[in-house]
Structure 1
Amino acid sequence: MNAETRPFSLALADPLDTARGPIERREGFLLRVEDAEGSVGVGEAAPLPGWTESREECEAALDDAASALESGERPESVLADLGGGVARGATPAARHALDLALADLRASREGLALYRFLGASDRVESVPVNATVGDAGVEETVEVAERAVESGFDCVKLKVGSRPLAADIERVEAVADALADAELRADANGAWTRPEAQRFLDAVGNRLAYVEQPLPATDLAGLAALSGPVALDETLARVAFEDALDADPDAVVLKPMALGGPRPAVAAAERAREAGVLPVVTTTIDGVVARTAAVHVAAAIPERPACGLATADLLESDLGPDPASVEDGRAVVPQAPGNGTPEVWPDDA
């Protein structure tokens, strides 16, 4: 199997402020694989420290994987060598690139859209997505949230945790008052102590579908003890998935980039459903290859909720045309064979 990597760097249109600090740029690698019959697949690795390995670790892992594939090693063995999830030494972003590239290749060879290859039995035209509102004052937060709903979004996620707790409570109350019919979520990125998180839930938990990662990732006991709707995100990058489910969350936020690829993300969603936990698919503000694959992952999950896939506008530029554009609060699911992003690596490149 032939394998080739190519680096990329994508600036955000505006820095995204989170409780972990601003995100200003997404850097990573494209991976192209081609089998003996000429079938091609393309994957993307966009590492994000805190969720995945570093860029340097990702590059080294992809170089090793490409060399192994070129030497004739079985692709599934190479995938296994990249580790998975929270295993020590794992490189989930690099694994995502290879898992996606192989799935793209095989789906294309079989003439299946990627979401059908991932297990969907019915045609899915689009999936619901949420709008994300970054940290801002009350008036600006309300204005941005209102514009999102006016443009077709039924679900809005507010970034919280960067301001004093009382200010975030005021922001949520103001948006909830202004948008009585929209589903609201909040994302704290692990910013709070247990008393702070409980105070927030006591104040506005009944106005939110859930609060995403209110406590640090590894505080499973604290997360389990909170009274109110809680979703886990960063926790999934730090502890085993089954241990995260033991914290009894209402939802889990599944980032294929942090879970090691589209196929592990679909498997995690199935396991969450079995446990009565809502699976919500999101990106890590990825380029079009990984973002489109995340749309396919969401499409492969039955009874999917609004997912965090409307992130293309956060990028100043992209890796290629977007086949999974967002309109009226829904992301189009590409129906072409494979992932639907061949233009990022044209035949004459």
Structure 2
Amino acid sequence: MSATITNVETIPVSVPTEESYETSLSVATGGQGAHDHVLVRVETDAGVTGVGEVAPHSPWPHGLTQSAVVDLIADRITPAIDGKPLHRIPRLVENVEQVLSGESFPLCGIDMALHDALGKLRDQPVYELLGGPAGKEPMVDLHSSIGIRPPEEVREIAARAAEEGFNAFKLKVGGPDLAAERAAVEAIAEAVPDARIRIDANQGWTAAEAVNAVPELDEAAGGLVLVEQPVPYDDTAGLRRVREAAGVPVLADEACFSPQDVASLAKQGACDLINIKLAKTGGLSRAQDVATVANAHGLACFMGSMLELGVGTAANAQFAAASPAVSYPSGVLNVHAASTLIEETERWTPDGDRFIVPDSPGLGVTLDSDAVERYRVD
């Protein structure tokens, strides 16, 4: 069965954050009081409609404002795919890339919607469209992510997560108070003796600061699993310095958007792992390319999120379930908003520290029209 794209619609929404989730980046930029995202609907003449989500994150490298995303999709992206065959997603992605200037965030929303529509058309979940998981249950291992908080709050959060079945934790660090961050790491280790702890500085340190801080936090954890993006995204030499001096595996996040970035980081010996995020790679198609190049260079992959709402969370989980490259417990479920804007019967709830992706067609979620109307801001 074939289908042709007939319309692209954008719906800007502003969903208040339910709980504070501070990082070194959000502290530096004044925090994030709401999820100012953009929903995307791609309609076809076959009667199927695909949905996607854009999480612009303007403070990020290459980030955009919500209004800029809406304008780019209306003015550039829609003319590039309108009237084109749905099943030719690789060609459609190339068409979109040709009219953009490297803006991965809006491309991601379109790519999600295209895969959702094609999955619905073929009655297949997206993880099957992506080629996996071959002969295995579509399962995603998860970690518990904790923002920058006082040590006593970190202890309580870790203890609750352990009761739910978690023993892998990601703690946000990179702030000005190393002693408090050491105490926070110790709080997790004391609350959950078998905890596997990783830290994420979100570019919060200089290379010199990271070389000093990481060994101290490694000691506090009884051995860190890894440190994520300790230095600014454009300081590749600093990233390599931390990797060589700190004695802890380094995960590149903000420094890595494209397959070319992966190859460059690998050749310079700057990291051990790559954080794949659909929003920064440009969607499911390009995330597969990133994973392929990482594997070719011997780099492990971790699947992260940009604090997406329900649609983006579903896409993250579909990719993590499909890709054999994702080998670490991942942060694909935004626990504060993973069920937002989707029908209640389709809200995804993890079973402890893992999640089985449903075999529903497409992304496996349907927009809750009442909730969308409540939060739309156009």
Q: Please report how far the alpha carbon of residue 191 of structure 1 lies from its aligned counterpart in structure 2 after TM superposition.
A: 0.7
Q: Which residue of 1 aligns with 2:376?
A: none
Q: Which residue of 2 aligns with 1:201?
A: 214
Q: Please report how far the alpha carbon of residue 319 of structure 1 lies from its aligned counterpart in structure 2 after TM superposition.
A: 4.3
Mapped pair 1:58 → 2:80: no
Q: Which residue of 2 aligns with 1:83?
A: 97
In the aligned structure 1, how far is the partner of 2:121 from the partner of 2:281? 25
TM-score by length of 2: 0.83
Q: Which residue of 1 aligns with 2:352?
A: 328
Secondary structure of the corresponding residue to residue 224 of structure 1: helix
Q: Which residue of 2 aligns with 1:231?
A: 251
Residue number among 43, 50, 53 corresponding to 1:41 in the alignment: 50
In structure 2, relative to structure 1, the CA distance for the partners of 1:326 and 1:43 (3 Å cut) is same
Q: Which residue of 1 aligns with 2:236?
A: 220
In the aligned structure 2, how far is the partner of 1:115 from the partner of 1:317? 21
In structure 2, relative to structure 1, the CA distance for the partners of 1:315 and 1:323 (3 Å cut) is closer
Q: Which residue of 1 aligns with 2:189?
A: 176
Q: Please report how far the alpha carbon of residue 91 of structure 1 lies from its aligned counterpart in structure 2 after TM superposition.
A: 2.0
Q: Which residue of 1 aligns with 2:163?
A: 150
In the aligned structure 1, how far is the partner of 2:37 from the partner of 2:117? 20
Counterpart code for 2:40: L
In structure 2, relative to structure 1, the CA distance for the partners of 1:28 and 1:244 (3 Å cut) is same
In structure 2, relative to structure 1, the CA distance for the partners of 1:271 and 1:75 (3 Å cut) is closer
Q: Please report how far the alpha carbon of residue 192 of structure 1 lies from its aligned counterpart in structure 2 after TM superposition.
A: 0.7
Alignment check: 8 A CA contact 2:237 2:270 kept: no
In the aligned structure 2, how far is the partner of 1:180 from the partner of 1:275? 34
In the aligned structure 2, how far is the partner of 1:210 from the partner of 1:308? 14
313-322 or 256-265: which moved more?
313-322
In the aligned structure 2, how far is the partner of 1:316 from the partner of 1:76? 29
Q: Please report how far the alpha carbon of residue 316 of structure 1 lies from its aligned counterpart in structure 2 after TM superposition.
A: 9.3
In the aligned structure 2, how far is the partner of 1:316 from the partner of 1:343? 10
Map 1:1-349 → 2, pairs under 5 A: 1-3=5-7, 4-21=9-26, 22-49=31-58, 50-51=60-61, 52-64=63-75, 65-70=77-82, 72=84, 79-83=93-97, 89-120=101-132, 121-205=134-218, 207-226=223-242, 227=245, 228-237=248-257, 240-246=261-267, 247-302=269-324, 304-314=327-337, 317-321=340-344, 322-344=346-368
Q: Please report how far the alpha carbon of residue 123 of structure 1 lies from its aligned counterpart in structure 2 after TM superposition.
A: 4.2
In the aligned structure 2, how far is the partner of 1:138 from the partner of 1:31? 40
Q: Please report how far the alpha carbon of residue 56 of structure 1 lies from its aligned counterpart in structure 2 after TM superposition.
A: 2.5
Q: Please report how far the alpha carbon of residue 230 of structure 1 lies from its aligned counterpart in structure 2 after TM superposition.
A: 1.2
Q: Superposition RMSD on alpha carbons, in Å?
A: 2.6
In the aligned structure 2, how far is the partner of 1:255 from the partner of 1:36? 31
Superimposed CA distance per residue, residues 17-52 of structure 1 (whole angstroms, 9 cap, x where no aligned partner): 111122221112222223332232111112112153
In the aligned structure 2, how far is the partner of 1:216 from the partner of 1:88? 25
Counterpart code for 1:184: I
Q: Please report how far the alpha carbon of residue 57 of structure 1 lies from its aligned counterpart in structure 2 after TM superposition.
A: 2.3
In the aligned structure 1, how far is the partner of 2:367 from the partner of 2:333? 20
Counterpart code for 2:25: R
Secondary structure of the corresponding residue to residue 195 of structure 1: helix
In the aligned structure 2, how far is the partner of 1:72 from the partner of 1:316? 32
Counterpart code for 1:199: N
Alignment check: 8 A CA contact 2:50 2:114 kept: yes
Quote the sequence identity (%). Answer: 28
In the aligned structure 2, how far is the partner of 1:100 from the partner of 1:70? 16
Secondary structure of the corresponding residue to residue 302 of structure 2: strand
How many equivalent residue pairs? 345
In the aligned structure 2, how far is the partner of 1:316 from the partner of 1:109? 24
